[in-house]
Amino acid sequence: MNLKLIKWILILLSLISLSCNAGDNLKRLSTDEFKKLNLPFSQAVEVDGILYLSGELGVKPGTLNLVDGGVKAQTRQALTNIQTTLKNFGSDMQHVIKCTLFLADIKEWPLVNDVYVEFFAGHLPARSAVAGSGLGLGARVEIECMAKVVTQS
From first to last of the 153 residues of the chain, give the pLDDT tens digit.
565 556 556 566 566 655 555 557 899 999 899 999 999 999 999 999 999 999 999 999 999 999 999 999 999 999 999 999 999 999 999 999 999 999 999 999 999 999 999 999 899 999 999 999 999 999 999 999 999 999 875
Does residue 99 form part of some domain?
A: yes
User: Which bin fits 106, alpha (ψ -120 to 50), beta or left (φ > 0)?
Assistant: alpha
How close are the terminal C-alpha atoms of the chain, in Å? 50
Domain range for 111 is 25-148
Buried b (16+ CB within 10 A) or exposed e, 3-12: eeeeeeeeee
Give CA–CA dist 120/106, Å, rounded: 21
Give CA–CA dist 43/68, Å, rounded: 23
- Average pLDDT, whole number, for the chain? 90
Give CA–CA dist 121/20, Å, rounded: 39
State the CATH number of the domain containing residue 102.
3.30.1330.40
Does residue 40 form part of some domain?
A: yes
Positive or negative torsion for Cα 65, 71, 77, 81:
positive
Does residue 80 form part of some domain?
A: yes
pLDDT of residue 115: 98
pLDDT digits (tens, 9 = 90+) for 83-96: 999 999 999 999 99
With contact defined as beta carbons under 8 Å apart, do 77 and 67 qualify? yes
Number of domains in the chain: 1
**pTM for this prediction:** 0.83
pLDDT of residue 13: 59
